[in-house]
Structure 1
Amino acid sequence: MLKNSFQKITLLVLIAVSACSCNKYLELRPQNGVTADQFWQTKEQLQSAVIGCYYAMEANPTAKQVTPAELFFDWGELRADFISPGLGIATAENDIINTNILPTNAVVKWQPIYRVINFCNYVLDFGPDVIKRDNTLTQDQLNNYLGEALALRSLMYFYLVRSFGDVPLKLHSTSTDDGLQQLAKTKQADILKQIVADLKTAEGYCPAAYSTNASDKGRVNKFTVDAILADVYLWMDDYADAITACDKVINSGKYALVPGGPNWFNILYGVGNSNEGIFELQFDAGTLNPYFAMFSSTTRYRFKAQQSIIDNFYSQDLNNPLNFDIRGNDVAIHIADGTIYKYTNLTATTFRTADVSYAHWIFYRFADVLLMKAEACANSSRGQETLDIINQIRTRANALPATVQSPDVADVNGLTNYILAERAREFPYEGKRWYDLLRIAKRNNFARRDVLLAAASVSVPPLYQQSAFSKIQDGNFLYFPVPQDDIQNDPNLVQNPFYK
């Protein structure tokens, strides 16, 4: 993927375009005239702006804010049942685990995500004019760039609606002072409709592949769009369309499970951009990820793995220590000290150091698409396909017989439980667990609230459990509060009812 000083300088230009001394809504703060007059003149600038959108997910926009890359983990894991506090955990993070969530909590900040959205909106607003100024830019190239921006904006809004519920929907850039708006929240259902519409457009615009593997894994192609669409459809309980989207990825022939041999960990997580990877946030020597400091036992790590994860999800073969589920010990967790290995090691025995903290953030990989299809099939009277897919995943992982479940092919709840357990084994600490729990819990008017209660019984300290169980009964609690700063700055925003 293109990520050099030119792209990073471009991002700094875009940040400068969106920054001034005043404190405005969503921190989308422009300086009039800079955007159109001094940029958006050539196809190289347009390409650079698109790459800047990716880099914005990695970069720390200000010293006071976490990166989106960190929020992807925090929002997807802190409220679930895989995390245990480490010595360096921040009060705000511990409060999330303890279900003591307030609008002032530093983790409950959506500004870094909206900044990425605004960069995407720059591309969508100003990109089409570049073709008038640079006759070497073709319509297909322009569409490719617009498709990437639409898909990234959609992914960011998907994170927001799964985390906050109803949120403000802004589809145009804040590029001048006149563009500043104080917006009310838009219903989650309406934002999801916008996401689907934008992704369908992006699917037609984005290429099937790029010329290099790093770009093919690190930039949005049409099958990336299909993977996001499958996830969105599953969240919407639209099982037929979810299956269709999954099948597009599966039938493309581009992706496969990394074989579960001795180099499995290094190929999938240590190096990244494997044949299994569909979309990965690319880190390198110039842009280290934030995860090493979060998880490494050589620092005052903020998070450890729940020690119960092996017994609860992977099991052990006490008669043969060499027979084990490859996803458990020294992948999800190093049992000796609770370290989360996916981001701190190159192999099961080779540690990273802080200066080589390059592990990618994997948004989607082939195993995820397979299990999304399995979940949609379970809810579509196709239970045998569900079991076949689960068995495919388990075979790669050498899953132990103790974790086998045998639901009837017509038992939707039983199949769902099996899928949830298999996703737990497959994706710990990949930012998916809370969203998996909430997606399943909320179906049929929260008919499966039990999965949230079970998770809280593991992760929430005993002192706070009764309070947590009570809060979970209120569906509004399952979404974050609107950040307090934005409530104060925008009179059109209304606080999530639970947090009033």
Structure 2
Amino acid sequence: MRKKIIYSLVLIVVCLTQACDSYLDLQPENGTTRDEFWKTKEDVQAAVIGIYSGLLNTPGSGTTIAEYSFMYGELRGGMVGAGAFSSDDQRDIITSNILPVNSVASWGAFYTVINYCNTVIDLAPDVLALDPTFTQQQLDQYLSEALAIRAYLYFTLARAFRDVPLKLEATLSDDDNFQIPTSTQEVIFAQVVTDLKAALNSAVEDYGDIPSNKGRITKDAINAMLADVYLWQEDYTNALMAADEVVNSSAGYELIPGGPSWFTTVFARGNSIESIFEFQYTPENRGPFNEIFLNRPEYLADASVLEDVFGLDFEDPENKDVRGERASLVPGTNEIYKFTGLNVDQRKSNQESDTHWFVYRYADVLLMKAEALNELDRGDEALEIVDEIRESRLAIELTEEQVTGADKHGVRMYILAERARELAFEGKRWFDVLRNARKDNYAYIDIILNVAIESAPANQQQSIVAKLKDPNSHYLPINEYELYTNKALVQNPFYK
């Protein structure tokens, strides 16, 4: 956690509330005290906006949280290959040839935004005594948003790195302690649940406009996150309860039937009735996706994805899963299309590169519910959910699996395959594979090994499989820079 992050939050707040050159008036780093931060509710509101701004484009980082989320969740999942402009580090992640110097294994952007959250959590309550127009309800709402975003960032880090430093207080001075050891994944997950439960108590259900309801933390977004982390904790009863809170929400989420406008509605425009939480890129604050998927492609869909994941009906080419061709990818070139397309025929221009990053969608929650039901020996109910989604998406018969509700592992694999179709390239695949493989103390490690065999070059299969048999290899190394600056850290044993 670099010392330079200390004033990033202050800079964002000042730029949002004053002329952008006013940051030159800030005092030197060691000259600021707590009572020099925020005086009014508007200051707190600007700081919360700064958190969301940090999710979109983190100051001091050339890589966005969305890009890291894509890399952490997709590069090892067997559905992504290297594009012409992939870096050596990105290619090494894809082939499990990972070293501690790999730049992808960098958590600096996450801890920058975590510090924004911590600063709001620590300092916003003091403003109640300074601004008589600032109400407890407003404060609690802002704290709910900061807690939930902090929880989500730690949840992502723990799934990617396993053990990471847990810092719950704001870094406000160069004198603060930067020598923090890692906490175990179990401790991180427990803190995530604690934060999300606290956030739920004051969460907003309706901000009054669609972009806020989809782009800010709501009660439904928190319950979606809770369902997710409970699955990782193998707490299926609570996962089911959290998922049902979203399913039964007054927001009235629905699966939009597959058709000519489905792709444009759900992805190109975003904020649809299927949306729960999306990073809100706009034409004025464009996302990175045209650049990394189209103009200078760093990633491609693996050549096998269209046929093996979505299925191809060679007798009737018009019979196709709406999520595949010209939705997730472009046949032939294997271009990842989900974030660059305007409709099934046209791409967005660079000036229109405003497709959101999809954190949680309704179909994701339905499939998490199905997973929890299956693990609770309610496989028939889980299959009903899978069938509902497949019918909505026009999934073809070729990808239908003949399993019964009594076949728990068969249903488990069917759900995993359906998640690959539904959530392709949304930063979910590797985490889905890993979560299922590690169930019951890695009883299903073959899931990971089979993905590696299917996607690895023939001359690398043996070495990749040998690495992946060690569970420590399933998590990224701590970057060497972090080890140098934080002597309390201990490297993941696989990378020593």
> TM-score with structure 2 length normalisation?
0.94
Instruction: Map 1:173-184 to 2 at 5 A.
Output: 173-184=170-181
Work out the CA distance in 1 between the residues paired with 2:31 and 2:461.
Answer: 54
- Check the 8 A contact 2:277/2:359 in 1, yes or no: yes
1:429–1:120 distance in 2 versus 1, CA, 3 Å: same
Q: 1:293 matched to which residue of 2?
A: 291
Work out the CA distance in 2 between the residues paired with 1:222 and 1:210.
Answer: 11
Aligned equivalent of 1:367, options 358, 363, 369? 363
Work out the CA distance in 2 between the residues paired with 1:37 and 1:8.
Answer: 16
Tell me if 1:237 matches 2:243. no
Amino acid of the structure 1 residue aligned with 2:270:
G
Instruction: Map 1:227-306 to 2 at 5 A.
Output: 227-254=224-251, 255-296=253-294, 299-306=295-302
Q: 2:393 matched to which residue of 1?
A: 397
Amino acid of the structure 2 residue aligned with 1:172:
E
Amino acid of the structure 2 residue aligned with 1:371:
L
Work out the CA distance in 1 between the residues paired with 2:179 and 2:18.
Answer: 25
Work out the CA distance in 2 between the residues paired with 1:158 and 1:349.
Answer: 37
Superposed displacement of residue 84, structure 1: 1.3
Q: 2:7 matched to which residue of 1?
A: none
Superposed displacement of residue 6, structure 1: 8.3
Work out the CA distance in 1 between the residues paired with 2:101 and 2:449.
Answer: 25
Work out the CA distance in 2 between the residues paired with 1:8 and 1:207.
Answer: 26
- Check the 8 A contact 2:449/2:469 in 1, yes or no: no
- Could you say what secondary structure the match of 1:288 adopts? coil
Q: 1:9 matched to which residue of 2?
A: 15
- Could you say what secondary structure the match of 2:370 adopts? helix
Work out the CA distance in 1 between the residues paired with 2:56 and 2:468.
Answer: 32
Q: 2:6 matched to which residue of 1?
A: none
Q: 2:55 matched to which residue of 1?
A: 57
- Could you say what secondary structure the match of 1:362 adopts? strand
Superposed displacement of residue 317, structure 1: 2.1
Work out the CA distance in 1 between the residues paired with 2:321 and 2:344.
Answer: 13
Tell me if 1:154 matches 2:151. yes
Structure 2 unaligned blocks of 5 or more: 1-10
Superposed displacement of residue 10, structure 1: 4.1
- Check the 8 A contact 2:114/2:150 in 1, yes or no: yes
Tell me if 1:143 matches 2:140. yes
Tell me if 1:377 matches 2:373. yes
Superposed displacement of residue 35, structure 1: 6.3
- Could you say what secondary structure the match of 2:412 adopts? helix
Aligned equivalent of 1:444, options 417, 440, 443? 440
- Check the 8 A contact 1:173/1:179 in 2, yes or no: no
- Check the 8 A contact 1:8/1:55 in 2, yes or no: no
Superposed displacement of residue 69, structure 1: 1.7
Work out the CA distance in 1 between the residues paired with 2:156 and 2:382.
Answer: 26
Work out the CA distance in 2 between the residues paired with 1:207 and 1:300.
Answer: 40
Amino acid of the structure 2 residue aligned with 1:336:
G
Please list the CA deviations of residues 374-433 of structure 1 after superposition, one character each: whole Å capped at 9, or x if unmatched. Answer: 000010011111000000100100111111112221211101010001001101000000
Superposed displacement of residue 7, structure 1: 6.2
Please list the CA deviations of residues 160-218 of structure 1 after superposition, one character each: whole Å capped at 9, or x if unmatched. Answer: 10000011100001011232331011111111111111100100111111111000000
Amino acid of the structure 2 residue aligned with 1:156:
L
Instruction: Map 1:343-362 to 2 at 5 A.
Output: 343-362=339-358
Work out the CA distance in 2 between the residues paired with 1:81 and 1:11.
Answer: 45
Work out the CA distance in 1 between the residues paired with 2:31 and 2:402.
Answer: 64
- Check the 8 A contact 2:58/2:112 in 1, yes or no: no
Superposed displacement of residue 291, structure 1: 1.3
Aligned equivalent of 1:44, options 42, 45, 54? 42
Amino acid of the structure 2 residue aligned with 1:256:
E
Tell me if 1:191 matches 2:197. no
1:358–1:383 distance in 2 versus 1, CA, 3 Å: same
Aligned equivalent of 1:332, options 314, 328, 338? 328
1:192–1:60 distance in 2 versus 1, CA, 3 Å: closer
Aligned equivalent of 1:431, options 423, 427, 431? 427
Q: 1:26 matched to which residue of 2?
A: none
Superposed displacement of residue 57, structure 1: 1.3
- Check the 8 A contact 1:86/1:304 in 2, yes or no: yes
Q: 2:117 matched to which residue of 1?
A: 120
Moved more, 102-111 or 253-262: 253-262
Superposed displacement of residue 9, structure 1: 1.8
Q: 1:24 matched to which residue of 2?
A: none
Amino acid of the structure 1 residue aligned with 2:45:
Q
Work out the CA distance in 2 between the residues paired with 1:245 and 1:316.
Answer: 36
Work out the CA distance in 2 between the residues paired with 1:182 and 1:441.
Answer: 33
> TM-score with structure 1 length normalisation?
0.93
Superposed displacement of residue 80, structure 1: 1.0
Work out the CA distance in 1 between the residues paired with 2:124 and 2:14.
Answer: 18
Please list the CA deviations of residues 47-71 of structure 1 after superposition, one character each: whole Å capped at 9, or x if unmatched. Answer: 11111111101114226x4121210
Q: How many residues align?
A: 481
Moved more, 176-185 or 151-160: 176-185
- Check the 8 A contact 1:11/1:55 in 2, yes or no: no
- Check the 8 A contact 1:313/1:425 in 2, yes or no: yes
Amino acid of the structure 1 residue aligned with 2:108:
Q
Structure 1 unaligned blocks of 5 or more: 21-29
Work out the CA distance in 2 between the residues paired with 1:160 and 1:12.
Answer: 33
- Could you say what secondary structure the match of 2:111 adopts? helix
